[in-house]
Structure 1
Amino acid sequence: MLDIKNLLVRRGEGAQAHQVRLPELQIGTGQVLAITGESGCGKSTLLEAIGLLLRPVELQRLTLTPPGSPAATPLDIGRLLADDDQPALAAVRSKHLGFILQSGGLLPFLSVRDNIRLPRRLLGMPLHSEHVDRAIAALRLETLLDKRPQALSIGERQRVACVRAIAHEPLLLLADEPTAALDPHSARRLFELLLSLVSSLGLSALVVSHDWALLKDFGLPRLGATSRQGETLFEPMD
């Protein structure tokens, strides 16, 4: 479970500064929460702060608890941030977080198979994984494994990016507008597969999206943005 209380992150200085505030957030295993709001309101900033790419200026609590026993010890990420323990924070990012970017972010000189295996290789994990095999099958990528990214359609690249993001079995998946470059049919299909993947693999996921119709159709709970001068507040929305 991801548990956050009183997170505040700031971008810019002086009159140009903009704050993004998250009073509270809890998301459990197998759950997906959408982050919504107008363009430029700070959705990606919030995702980057949760993904430990931006340091908050205020934070009361940020923990990530592995699934399994109710007595599992939470990872006290807030303490690591307070101590500015960069090696430990880097280890949390690489081991426990998975990222899906708008662009896919695949390495063009690697095959699909090697792109997917890269996070496991970097962490010294066995390259073969039934967890990954199930994801490849769910996203119908078996026939693409020997191809390079430039030989794929945009939708195919995003599907590969989804599998690569969960290949190292993270606790939390963070997706920034994963369907932004897709046509409506492809966007719906990718979203459906992504939700299925999160459920079957027992992940937690936060998805930034501007596609209101898609989110409504899938009935996802969401964090919505309320913007005022110099600050955006993200709160649960009905």
Structure 2
Amino acid sequence: MLQIKDLSVVRGQGRQAHHVHLPQLELRPGEVMAVTGESGCGKSTLLEAIGLLLRPDQVGQYHLSDAGQQRDIAMLLNNNQQAELANIRARQIGFVLQNGGLLPFLNVLDNIRLPSQLLASVPDKAMLSRVIDSLKLGPLLTRYPSQLSFGERQRTAFARAIMHRPALVLADEPTAALDPSNAQQLFSLFIDLVRHEGMMALVVCHDWPLVQRFSLPCLIARPDQTAASQAEPPQQAQGGTWFVL
């Protein structure tokens, strides 16, 4: 389970500063939630903070449970325990970047197995086979990223993000460059895999019809003043964007 309360990030300084607030978020295994909002509102910033790539300026609660073990990540953040945070980021969080982020000198199979190798663990053969079959990657395993279409690269990126069985998968605009048909297919494959494997996922998506088609719950970006009636702002937070259900 993922539980976050009163998370706040500030990008920039002075009058140019932009505040990103998350009053509350709860996800359970098998759940996929979309993050929507206008360009530049802070969706990627929110994902970076949740993914422990960016230290929040404030966090009241951040618990992430995996295999029955609950980690108090807010305490680690507040105490700046970087080594432990890096370990959690590597083992319990999977990332899918907008451009795929595949290593060009590794073929598809080696890209998929990379997280497990970095963790010095042996990839689960049954899991590997299931992911490859589900994402229709079998004919592509020996190809390199430069030989793939964008959709094929994104399917490979999804496989890599979940191969080490993270508790939480974060995807930043994974279908942004795809046509509607391929975007729908990729979304469907991803959602099915996350649910089948009992993971949790947050997916930044600008395509509102696509989100509606799959009836996903949403964190919606709203200006501070429109969200103020729904939750109390974190102390010392002024302006910016709120992400509310």
TM exceeding 0.5: yes
Pick the TM interval, shorter chain.
over 0.9
Residues 73 and 128 (structure 1), Cα distance of their counterparts in 2 relative to 1, 3 Å cut = closer
Summarize the Cα distance change of 1:109–1:84 in structure 2 as closer, same or farther, 3 Å threshold: same
| 3-state SS of 1:169 partner | coil
Number of the residue aligned with 2:70: 74
Give the letter for the 1:147 counterpart.
R
Matched with 1:231 is 240
Where 2:54 maps in the other structure, the secondary structure is coil
In the alignment, which residue of structure 1 is the partner of 2:233?
A: none
- 1:39 paired residue number: 39
Q: Distance in 2 between matches of 1:29 and 1:178?
A: 21
Deviation at residue 128 of structure 1 after TM alignment: 4.5
| Alpha-carbon shift at residue 175 of structure 1 (Å) | 0.2
Instruction: Please tell me whether the aligned partners of residues 10 and 20 of structure 1 are also in contact (alpha carbons under 8 angstroms).
Output: yes
Correspondences of 1:49-198 after superposition (within 5 Å): 49-67=49-67, 72-198=68-194
Secondary structure of 2:53's partner? coil
Q: What is the deviation of 1:227?
A: 1.6
In structure 2, the gaps of 5 or more residues are 225-237
Query: Displacement, 1:164?
Result: 0.2
Cα distance in structure 1, aligned partners of 2:129 and 2:98: 24
User: Percent identity between the aligned chains?
Assistant: 54
Q: Which runs of 4+ in 1 moved over 2 A?
A: none
Contact 2:123 2:163 in 1 (8 A): no
- In structure 1, the gaps of 5 or more residues are none
Q: Normalising by the residue count of structure 2, what TM-score does the alignment of the two structures yield? A: 0.93
**Alignment size in residue pairs:** 232
Q: Normalized against structure 1, the TM-score is what?
A: 0.95
**Structure 1, residues 140-175: CA drift from partner, whole Å, max 9, x if none?**
001100111111110000000000001111000000
Q: Tell me if structure 1 keeps the 8 A contact 2:62–2:72.
A: yes
CA RMSD between the two structures:
1.0
Deviations 1:95-151 (A, max 9, x none): 000000000000010010100111000001113431122111101001100111111
Q: Does 1:30 align with 2:8?
A: no
SS at match of 1:74: strand
Q: Which amino acid is the alignment partner of residue 35 of structure 1?
A: V
Match of residue 48 from structure 1: 48
1:128, 1:216 → 2: CA distance?
34
Asked if the contact 1:99/1:175 (under 8 Å) is kept, the reply is: yes
